[in-house]
Chain A
């Protein structure tokens, strides 16, 4: 029982590595004075970030080696653990700016929602693969999946973490769509969301403000507007060529916590249009490579898993950029690999590890002839081999 091992998708790996390396520079620039003021040590936040990036790279290398098929049996228990963790977080989660999103183990804090997101997506992939055509049936195909999606989304929303909840839900719907769920079912689900969404809005006025702020409203939304305005000023101030590494002037008092969700603005300010476009290009590259891996994945699970991971990373990057640029309502999503934030980097790295493992099992990057594990990626051979085994 050995998996087929070709080369990993090196381009994908290097793209992720490039984002990580870039994030070191940007996060340092964006956080140094904050660190200086807070701890009298400019590199404090960078150190933390460095540890997480390091952990992320280690995670990539570990998960790259694990055959993605093993998750088939693991996703359900993992998802149950995730739900329990979410419940625990909700019960005793540390307060972070009005939201209980964190669990702390000793010195480490971690966001169960990041874990839950991938647990849910992976499990949906397994379910879709298993159900195949049955997904078109509502009670036996569609509903069982909704039964997982709804509680996870609801728990994340309840944290309250509207943005991540919405993203988890969106990603789930995208997976159902790709998994060939009936459009009628999807539409019905979305329709049912409208009153729920309204309720959630009413429960937390700040969300309403964000939306109003996005729609150009004024009043209490002023503070949120302010942050967004400052982010855009940062981009504009950077111009085409940027102010150079460490040159951001927006980062301090004008753009609070710029090393977090608004880090893209610092990229735009310090690296200019060139840097910002380059960053988006790297994400585009990740998407294209990821979709290619999905296309060539050896089985349904690999295909849908690769697709889920790729889409998730790309969508997070795009939504984050869209928010920072004022195209989308303000949310609290990190930019994958670039933003400061441990949980996101760690779990996204795991996902990339899984993706690379899938890439290893495609016929895209064959090992050189003569190496022991190489196979000729010729369809008849694979088919024949499969035939023999079964």
Chain B
């Protein structure tokens, strides 16, 4: 039986329309098939060709890294007083997705605790597309309890340590400051950033099925490594005194700014480095960007009369001028003529003198006489002496932004340069250069490299780096240094610097007044007034420089403006510091015994004699193998240092003590080891950053000592 069939379509319709129907069906069919192909190709593209890209994207959103912040290292002064330390803060962040419908409750809680409008928080939590929004940043940890953070799934509490500066603005420019992420931006914080920073640890968190974060079992928890402690050579008491007196001095003299430096001449240690106006590193934004500069190293000045030291040193060292040699002081006005009789330039003195001895010319700061001395000394000698004192080169101190000043070579000099430089013009110096030059005189003629980082200590207390005092060179003979010191004492006793004189403390110093040079010309009525000196003059313990920029009240002269500030600083420092009692126990001059082991005997002798030590030798070798007293100890000048060219005596036969090699260049370190029949395994290059076994350990001869070396720059010494 056949069902109802109203029509028999095939026969019903003309063949043409049937064909058309078939054709149209085919078009739709082909269209759909093409669509299938496109989908398949797209699937292949996403799941095969670009799969890695998407998989990585996926991983990123399933796993999140939660940093465990490392504590940034402390900065302490030479007496372990904490200059910079950390305070713990917390930040609150929310994962809006997980907070979900508790958003209102959470916002309410925050609004209550922080006393802010609820809508502010609600707005943040409702950012649905974000998985992490900060609600509050860097607030006191006590809020964590008040919020009851644990009761909210999806509320993240992050520990955030923040820098704390217990001395507020004291040493602000020197210490520098950090950004919100605790990264050093200026000063020591910047210079030693890699050492102080430490390394953040982290845990990988995985989201479980409903998005809660759990520590992942696939990845270990990486503990943070806290930063190292940097011990500075600074004495915060000196620093505070310098800054306070500087503030008073700047205010009293209506100066634009002022700066002061104190150095230990025997070692080159910076005891204080002050800038006023000061800046509080805890709140750097409150002061202008200019205030953040540590102008002791970043700015260049024409020194004026303080530079006469160099001229005098050049003359005395070469025995070209005798201290009592008389000069015509030209009644305060000296016209320099060219050979053809034309006036080249005019040199003037503030005070008019008829005749002055060389010594008096320093004491009373005669430009005219110094110009005449320079004619005797000559360009080459003046240049060389200036260069030897360290002018025109960076001191190499561990501070960012140090400039080298400007000391032109004689070939670049104009007709006036020789005379002008003799009294401190046409030469650009940093305050630190002036201070180190005077320190060289105070140190018996030996220039020490100034430094400010004493040592770096790991969080576990291991000393990772010690800065050893470094002799740069002998600049002048001890005799010349002595004569110069006498000159400088005269300045204070009867010359331009009498206002700096202190009761009972012999002081050597020099005043300086220089016209301020800016934008290519001297500014009328604008001066740099300075005083630099050292005390006690017979056994210098501190070199100090005070410099005021544009004093504008009763006077602009260094002797009247800066000398009293110097005096105030020196007296207070003397009063507070037990270190003078110590240094005075060592009668006469004292110096640090340099490290001469592995140095050739001749060179070692020269170095020690330059420092004022006597030398005796033992053995008949050519290389120093042992020295006594040991390197780094402070000894009175004239002390006999015994140099032995024989091997260091081994305490037990076949055993030897491991020497301290840290801070030595590789070659010297290896030489030193070979002296004690030890092998070296060196990794890295530069200077020895760490060693194993540790110094002082007793090992068998022939033991291999592992030396890890790092490039010389201190900041590169990474320590893990």
Closest to B29 in A: A291
Chain B nearest Cβ from A291, distance in angstroms:
6
Q: List residues of B whose CB falls within 8 A of some A CB.
A: 1-9, 11-13, 17, 20-21, 24-25, 27-29, 32-33, 35-36, 38-40, 42-44, 46-48, 50-51, 53-55, 57-58, 61-62, 97, 128-129, 207, 209-211
Q: Is the CB of A177 within 8 A of B28?
A: yes
B97 CB contacts on chain A under 8 angstroms: 253
Task: Say which residue of B4, B21, B38, B207 sits within 8 Å of A69 (CB atoms).
Answer: B4
Q: Is the CB of A132 within 8 A of B32?
A: no
Pairs across A and B, CB under 8 Å, 12 listed: A37-B210, A132-B12, A178-B28, A233-B58, A236-B54, A240-B47, A249-B58, A273-B48, A294-B25, A299-B9, A307-B25, A327-B38
A120 CB contacts on chain B under 8 angstroms: none
- A 228-245 to B, binary, CB cutoff 8 A, 1 in contact else 0: 000011111111100000
Q: Is the CB of B1 within 8 A of A2?
A: yes
A322 CB contacts on chain B under 8 angstroms: 35, 38-39, 42
Q: Is the CB of A237 within 8 A of B58?
A: yes
Closest to B14 in A: A133
Chain A nearest Cβ from B157, distance in angstroms:
21
Task: Say which residue of B11, B13, B32, B43 sits within 8 Å of A276 (CB atoms).
Answer: B43
How far is B17's CA from A300's CA once the two chains are assembled, in angstroms? 13
Task: Say which residue of A223, A250, A307 sits within 8 Å of B58 (CB atoms).
Answer: A250
A284 CB contacts on chain B under 8 angstroms: 33, 36
Q: Which of A89-97, A140-148, A159-167, A382-390 contacts B (4 or more CB under 8 A)?
A: A382-390
Closest to A175 in B: B28
Q: Which of A14-22, A211-219, A310-318, A337-345 contacts B (4 or more CB under 8 A)?
A: A310-318
Q: Is the CB of A325 within 8 A of B36?
A: no
How far is B191's CA from A216's CA once the two chains are assembled, in angstroms? 47
Q: A133-B17, A327-B38, A327-B39 are in contact. Are A386 and B2 (CB under 8 A)?
A: yes
Would you call A268 an interface residue if the criterion is a C-beta within 8 Å of the partner chain's C-beta atoms? yes
B13 CB contacts on chain A under 8 angstroms: 132-133
How far is B62's CA from A237's CA once the two chains are assembled, in angstroms? 12
How far is B53's CA from A318's CA once the two chains are assembled, in angstroms? 25
Chain B nearest Cβ from A376, distance in angstroms:
12
Beyond A1-B4, A33-B210, A239-B47: 11 further Cβ-contacts under 8 Å?
Answer: A2-B3, A3-B3, A4-B2, A33-B209, A133-B13, A223-B128, A237-B51, A237-B54, A299-B9, A300-B12, A386-B8
- A 25-37 to B, binary, CB cutoff 8 A, 1 in contact else 0: 0000000010011
Q: Is the CB of B25 within 8 A of A178?
A: yes
Task: Say which residue of B2, B24, B57 sits within 8 Å of A385 (CB atoms).
Answer: B2
Q: Is the CB of B43 within 8 A of A1?
A: no
Would you call A280 an interface residue if the criterion is a C-beta within 8 Å of the partner chain's C-beta atoms? yes
A36 CB contacts on chain B under 8 angstroms: 210
A37 CB contacts on chain B under 8 angstroms: 210
How far is B11's CA from A321's CA once the two chains are assembled, in angstroms? 40
Q: Is the CB of B7 within 8 A of A254?
A: no
Q: Is the CB of A325 within 8 A of B58?
A: no
- A 193-218 to B, binary, CB cutoff 8 A, 1 in contact else 0: 00000000000000000000000000
Q: Is the CB of B40 within 8 A of A277?
A: yes
Would you call A87 an interface residue if the criterion is a C-beta within 8 Å of the partner chain's C-beta atoms? no
A226 CB contacts on chain B under 8 angstroms: 129
A3 CB contacts on chain B under 8 angstroms: 3
Q: Is the CB of B9 within 8 A of A272?
A: no
Chain A, 282-305, CB within 8 A of any chain B CB: 283-284, 287, 291, 294-295, 298-300, 303
A280 CB contacts on chain B under 8 angstroms: 36, 39-40, 43
Chain A nearest Cβ from B216, distance in angstroms:
13
Closest to A300 in B: B9
Q: Is the CB of A277 within 8 A of B43?
A: yes
Q: List residues of A whose CB falls within 8 A of some B CB.
A: 1-4, 33, 36-37, 67, 69, 132-133, 174, 177-178, 180, 222-223, 226, 232-240, 249-250, 252-254, 268, 272-273, 276-277, 280, 283-284, 287, 291, 294-295, 298-300, 303, 307, 311, 314-315, 318, 321-322, 325-327, 361, 375, 382-383, 385-386, 389
B8 CB contacts on chain A under 8 angstroms: 299, 383, 386
A132 CB contacts on chain B under 8 angstroms: 12-13
Chain B nearest Cβ from A315, distance in angstroms:
7
A314 CB contacts on chain B under 8 angstroms: 32
B21 CB contacts on chain A under 8 angstroms: 178, 180
How far is B51's CA from A37's CA once the two chains are assembled, in angstroms? 31
How far is B35's CA from A321's CA once the two chains are assembled, in angstroms? 10
Q: Is the CB of A239 within 8 A of B44?
A: no
B129 CB contacts on chain A under 8 angstroms: 222-223, 226
B9 CB contacts on chain A under 8 angstroms: 299-300, 303
Closest to B49 in A: A236
A272 CB contacts on chain B under 8 angstroms: 47
Task: Say which residue of A67, A233, A234, A238 sits within 8 Å of B3 (CB atoms).
Answer: A67
A307 CB contacts on chain B under 8 angstroms: 25
Q: Is the CB of B47 within 8 A of A236?
A: yes
Closest to A3 in B: B3
B7 CB contacts on chain A under 8 angstroms: 299-300
Q: Is the CB of B3 within 8 A of A1?
A: yes
Chain B nearest Cβ from A242, distance in angstroms:
9
Closest to A235 in B: B46
Q: A69-B4, A303-B9 are in contact. Are A236 and B57 (CB under 8 A)?
A: yes
Q: A178-B21, A180-B20 are in contact. Are A239 and B207 (CB under 8 A)?
A: no
Q: Is the CB of A298 within 8 A of B5?
A: yes
A287 CB contacts on chain B under 8 angstroms: 29, 32
Q: Is the CB of A315 within 8 A of B43?
A: no
Task: Say which residue of B11, B50, B61 sits within 8 Å of A254 (CB atoms).
Answer: B61
B57 CB contacts on chain A under 8 angstroms: 233, 236
A318 CB contacts on chain B under 8 angstroms: 32, 35-36, 39
B6 CB contacts on chain A under 8 angstroms: 299
Closest to A273 in B: B47
B209 CB contacts on chain A under 8 angstroms: 33, 252
Chain B nearest Cβ from A190, distance in angstroms:
15
B12 CB contacts on chain A under 8 angstroms: 132, 300
How far is B11's CA from A233's CA once the two chains are assembled, in angstroms? 55
How far is B40's CA from A276's CA once the two chains are assembled, in angstroms? 9
B54 CB contacts on chain A under 8 angstroms: 232-233, 235-237
How far is B9's CA from A178's CA once the two chains are assembled, in angstroms? 15
Q: Is the CB of B43 within 8 A of A235?
A: yes
How far is B143's CA from A321's CA once the two chains are assembled, in angstroms? 50
B3 CB contacts on chain A under 8 angstroms: 1-4, 67, 69, 361
B24 CB contacts on chain A under 8 angstroms: 177-178, 180
Q: A299-B9, A311-B28 are in contact. Are A325 and B43 (CB under 8 A)?
A: yes
A4 CB contacts on chain B under 8 angstroms: 2-3
A254 CB contacts on chain B under 8 angstroms: 61
Chain A nearest Cβ from B149, distance in angstroms:
21
How far is B8's CA from A2's CA once the two chains are assembled, in angstroms? 17
A236 CB contacts on chain B under 8 angstroms: 46-47, 50-51, 53-55, 57-58
How far is B209's CA from A150's CA once the two chains are assembled, in angstroms? 46
A253 CB contacts on chain B under 8 angstroms: 97, 207, 210-211
A234 CB contacts on chain B under 8 angstroms: 58
Closest to A254 in B: B61
B4 CB contacts on chain A under 8 angstroms: 1, 69, 389
A294 CB contacts on chain B under 8 angstroms: 25
Task: Say which residue of B32, B47, B50, B128 sits within 8 Å of A268 (CB atoms).
Answer: B47
B20 CB contacts on chain A under 8 angstroms: 180
Task: Say which residue of B27, B42, B55, B128 sits within 8 Å of A237 (CB atoms).
Answer: B55
Task: Say which residue of B27, B39, B128 sits within 8 Å of A325 (CB atoms).
Answer: B39
B211 CB contacts on chain A under 8 angstroms: 252-253
Chain A nearest Cβ from B9, distance in angstroms:
4
How far is B211's CA from A3's CA once the two chains are assembled, in angstroms? 57
A385 CB contacts on chain B under 8 angstroms: 2
Chain B nearest Cβ from A271, distance in angstroms:
10
Chain B nearest Cβ from A130, distance in angstroms:
10
B28 CB contacts on chain A under 8 angstroms: 174, 177-178, 311
Chain A nearest Cβ from B217, distance in angstroms:
16
